[in-house]
A and B are shown apart, each in its own frame.
Chain A
Amino acid sequence: MLEVEGLEVSYRGNCAVDGISLSIAAGEVVALIGANGAGKSSVLKALMGLVPAASKRLDLDGSPIAGLPTRRRIQGGLALSPEGRAVFPRMSVDENLSLGRPGGGHEEDRNAIRRMFPRLSERATQAAGTLSGGEQQMLAIGRALMARPRLLLLDEPTLGLAPVIVQEIGRIIDEVRAAGTAVLVAEQNALAALGWANRAYVLTNGSVTMQGDAADLIDNEEVRRAYLGV
């Protein structure tokens, strides 16, 4: 459903993403792994239209989305849960959720999110900034899901979270996929991400250096040494 060729992102002349290509099929979970500064967030931001980018091809369901504003891409089926949660701290959980969908959230979607994240539903009127780190991450994911994406982009969802919460995020990704939504997850935590994903890309200094089935990459010597610390 997503086809990317020759994607480039640079900041004031410094190249952060150097002509990468990737593709994601409907209902697939794909991991984008790499070290600090490898360019993972830049890729996701470029897909959302949040940073200036160039590409040979950037198609969602066969139609080009390059140059479209973020809102149109969200309407086209993309949604991002940004790195570092990035919730609206002084707004309530419910207000955060309703902002997830351009033009306003629907009650039935909000109810679906509440069923998926019972802890958020208990805190509907609480200010988002008072939630725990794990809860804020759930809220950021829930907010993205409010847009009913067909491809959910998750940027570093496990950052700074306890192992139980990391497992919880795995459960959510499974649930999202089961509902038919594809997921592209950028992670430094390669072990977790490869555990969730069908396929993965390894990003090094802005280039894809390896790609393949997640199960194969977990066993790959180089990946194990560089990203799994074994």
Chain B
Amino acid sequence: MQWKIRMLLAQQIVNGLSIGLNYALIALGLTLVFGVLHVINFGHGQVVMIGALAALYAAELLNLPYVLTLPVAAAAAGLLGVVLHLAAVRPVVRRRDGHQDVLLTTFAAGLLIHEAVLASRGPAPARFDGIPGVLHVGPLMLTNQRLFIIIVAGLTLLALLYLIRMTRFGNELRALAENEFAARAVGIDTGKVILVTFAMSAAIGGLGGALLAPLSAFSPNIGQGALMTAFVIVVAAGLGSVWGTVAFAALYGILESVLSLTFDQGMASATVSGLMLLILIARPNGLFGKA
């Protein structure tokens, strides 16, 4: 292969890893909620959008530097996650067929959020500045924002994996995901674990939104795309698998970036989704799910 093409490929792999880790933050929110409740939170995409919007307002109205808008994004989204849980999930999930209802109520809550944002500021995209500048490593060129995403998303994922595998809360979360009755029998406060999981999932989703937006721009419509990408990733990875989600999100980002060398962005995403579909046909429980 020609040297130039190889460099281009290496660059797209790094770019893809960056966006893949960002997808992982967003997709893990779906995975964790699925783990404890066995439902897909179809409002998650709009939570991601609200995270980005909160960061945008924090920058515009409070003049906060970009880095400091990230905690604001996570907090706003986390709060919204709690509201979403209390308003759209908890009241219906224990009902007969409650799990199906939750798909609808979270979707409806998402629509409501989306419409509210459209009504208040219109559909026009807004410029969203992240970390400026470009890093040159030899012939490779990496924007500082993408580098920043790798660092922040990477650290957040590590912290999250630590929380899940090594702490009491993580043990309770995994116990609840594996056997709800046994979890209640050993005295785990399952309602609290579910609420915290919702808040945490929303917070990392909001962080993901605020990290992702500078790569293009803020638009009230970024939630739908984020949800679709996250959904494809968690389903293909095997619902509920944390490691699978991270690995698959990285793979998704890299494939998408590499394919965008020859296809346009939309075609690249569609191709990756198609590949994921093939995986599901071959392994109906996902690549990392139990066979």
Number of A-B contacts (CB under 8 A): 56
* Chain B residue contacts of A86, Cβ below 8 A: 179, 181-182, 185
- Smallest CB separation, A176 vs chain B (Å): 18
Q: Please measure, in the bound complex, the distance between the C-alpha atom of A102 and the C-alpha atom of B174, giving whole angstroms.
A: 15
Asked if B168 and A91 make an inter-chain contact with CB atoms under 8 angstroms apart, the answer reads no
- Smallest CB separation, B147 vs chain A (Å): 35
Residue A206, interface by CB 8 Å: no
Asked if A143 and B189 make an inter-chain contact with CB atoms under 8 angstroms apart, the answer reads no
Q: Binding site of A, secondary structure by majority: helix, strand, loop or mixed?
A: loop
Residue B265, interface by CB 8 Å: no
Q: Interface size of B by Cβ–Cβ distance < 8 Å?
A: 16
Residue B188, interface by CB 8 Å: yes
Asked if B172 and A99 make an inter-chain contact with CB atoms under 8 angstroms apart, the answer reads yes
* Chain A residue contacts of B187, Cβ below 8 A: 69-71, 73-75, 102, 147
Residue A46, interface by CB 8 Å: no
- Smallest CB separation, B62 vs chain A (Å): 40
Q: Mark B8-24, 1 if CB is under 8 A from A, else 0.
A: 00000000000000000
Q: Mark A96-119, 1 if CB is under 8 A from B, else 0.
A: 001110111000000000000000
Asked if B186 and A143 make an inter-chain contact with CB atoms under 8 angstroms apart, the answer reads yes
Q: Interface size of A by Cβ–Cβ distance < 8 Å?
A: 25
Q: Mark A165-186, 1 if CB is under 8 A from B, else 0.
A: 0000000000000000000000
Residue A82, interface by CB 8 Å: yes
Interface residues of A in 71-87 (CB under 8 A from B): 71, 73-75, 80, 82, 86-87
* Chain B residue contacts of A147, Cβ below 8 A: 186-187
* Chain A residue contacts of B174, Cβ below 8 A: 88, 90-91
> What 6 A-B pairs come out closest when comparing CB atoms?
A71-B187, A86-B182, A102-B187, A74-B187, A88-B178, A70-B187
